[in-house]
Amino acid sequence: MKKLFSGKKRGGDMRSLHSVLRAEQIKGKVFTKMQKTACWMTGILSVLLLLTWGGHWLIQKFLENPKYTVSQIDVRVKGKIRKEHILAWAAVPPRSNIFSLDIRALQRRIESQPVVRSATIERRMPNRIEIEVIERVPLARLVTKTSVGGLEGHVFTIDREGVVMRTRQGENLRHLPTICGVPPLDAIPGRKMTSKEVYCALYLLEIVERSPMKGEFDFKHVDISGGELLQVALGSGGKIKFIADSNQLPAQLERFQQLVLYCQQHKKRLGTADMTVKRNVPVTFMPES
């Protein structure tokens, strides 16, 4: 009985020893794996730090290299803006490095000018900047009304997109049609108009400008002071009424074109016409000379 009990005890001891050895082996493998992982992470961090330091050093070398100091600015203009004005608006700091120059800031400064439609700026290695500017082309003069007796006030220009611009000294604007009766608070240089009547007037002027009837039936003045009514004065002295509604303007212009053809075929001079009437348009003609 003692031997049997003693044998079982030794067998249990062997199994316990085997379990302990197995656990130690597992711990050793885990520790070795952790050591390898730590070594890899240390190596990767060292490489990243080296690359960061090297990149910073390389950037500093480029920024300090006089070879990359901006020494030439080429300006191309599609319009009549003077190049010295564009350079003044760009305000490139002297001895600027071509890499540290904020191209977007230069572009925003130039495009903040009401007469500028768009500006493109590009770097040309090693030390040259190219600026291309497209000028806004005025479609009409814009005349505001004052609060005193409805007298005409300030004169601006406006392009096809509805952007208001200041007139420039010596600028010849006599060939441009006039949009008058504009609320003064709505005419802010550098901003788009909000009046729907102004946009309807621009639509009319642009259609006529591209039309074959431009020579004989020039729209010289468009008065928007009547609210929903556009009163147009022709270069020949005639007067026409339109509704300031973008949905109705195409049909009104079609009726006006038919009237123009009638005048041309019968050699009539248009006096007045009311395009707001859809049928049996009221029309008068000037006396024959």
Q: Is 85 in contact with 75 (CB distance < 8 Å)?
A: no
Q: Is 219 in contact with 234 (CB distance < 8 Å)?
A: yes
Decide if pLDDT at 210 tops 50. Answer: yes
Judge if 177 and 241 occupy the same domain.
yes
Q: Which residue range is the domain that position 81 belongs to?
A: 66-135
Burial class (CB in 10 A: 0-12, 13-18, 19+), 156: buried
Distance in angstroms (rounded) separating the CA atoms of residues 253 and 247: 11
Residue 17: what pLDDT? 53
- pLDDT-derived band at 243 (thresholds 50, 70, 90) equals very high
Residue 222: what pLDDT? 95
Decide if pLDDT at 116 tops 60. Answer: yes
How many structural domains is the chain composed of? 2
Average pLDDT over residues 81-87: 95
Residue 170: what pLDDT? 80
3-state helix, strand, coil in the chain (%, to 5): 40, 25, 30
Q: Is 225 in contact with 209 (CB distance < 8 Å)?
A: no
**Listed residues 135, 165, 196: the one ending a domain:** 135
Supply 87's token pair.
């350079």
Residue 82: what pLDDT? 93
SS3 97: strand
**Listed residues 85, 104, 135: the one ending a domain:** 135
Judge if 276 and 184 occupy the same domain.
yes
Decide if pLDDT at 148 tops 50. Answer: no
Residue 107: what pLDDT? 96
Decide if pLDDT at 18 tops 90. Answer: no
Q: Which stretches of 95-244 are assigned E, i.e. beta strand?
A: 116-124, 128-135, 138-145, 152-159, 164-166, 178-182, 219-226, 229-234, 239-243
**21: amino acid identity, one letter:** L
Decide if pLDDT at 213 tops 90. Answer: no
Write out the DSSP string of 51-66.
HHHHHHHHHHHHHH-G
Residue 2: what pLDDT? 47
- 34 inside domain: no
Judge if 279 and 145 occupy the same domain.
yes
